[in-house]
Chains A and B, each alone.
Chain A
Amino acid sequence: QQQVKQSPQSLIVQKGGISIINCAYENTAFDYFPWYQQFPGKGPALLIAIRPDVSEKKEGRFTISFNKSAKQFSLHIMDSQPGDSATYFCALQASFEGSARQLTFGSGTQLTVLP
């Protein structure tokens, strides 16, 4: 079963525009909601993350908005730059240490920022 649904699958934005990627989840047994960024030929790297007791977190041009009641969270990239072109994954992190705090990933969004 797909525990997290990510959309859109691909996104093309002009330089300076806003990129928005959405994720929806079902199970509530998670206590950390990270976004990972992956460039071609590289492994994913943590970009930004949020805990469910916070509705918004901002780091530079990147913002996570979290809606606990709707079980949705989204990534907003302000003033998008060509260097932001990458694949973005939302993830759910298990709260149980015995599970090594597993990540369940969304299917990914390929972002292209045009110059």
Chain B
Amino acid sequence: SAVISQKPSRDICQRGTSLTIQCQVDSQVTMMFWYRQQPGQSLTLIATANQGSEATYESGFVIDKFPISRPNLTFSTLTVSNMSPEDSSIYLCSVQRDRGREDTQYFGPGTRLTVL
């Protein structure tokens, strides 16, 4: 398995501001992903964080709104930019250790964001 930590665990922010969420893994992993879970909803994949290149975004998500960095194989950040109340969600990081293999995706504890 993988031990994943996220910072902050929760935050309350004002509209129009930005928040950067950190995801740290205890060992090197090949794949890192960012998901959003809106209140009472399921999880939706935002993007795949690629080490050394731009993230791959899913339909409906854009880099200007959700810039992602992945400087190495154990760390990634997701920024929620110019926030509005609709961005209030839980944001989860997930990792997969190996690429191209039948490996499990493990999830971090999530960051609970409230935008006022």
Chain A bound to chain B: no
Q: Report A's interface with B, CB cutoff 8 A.
A: none
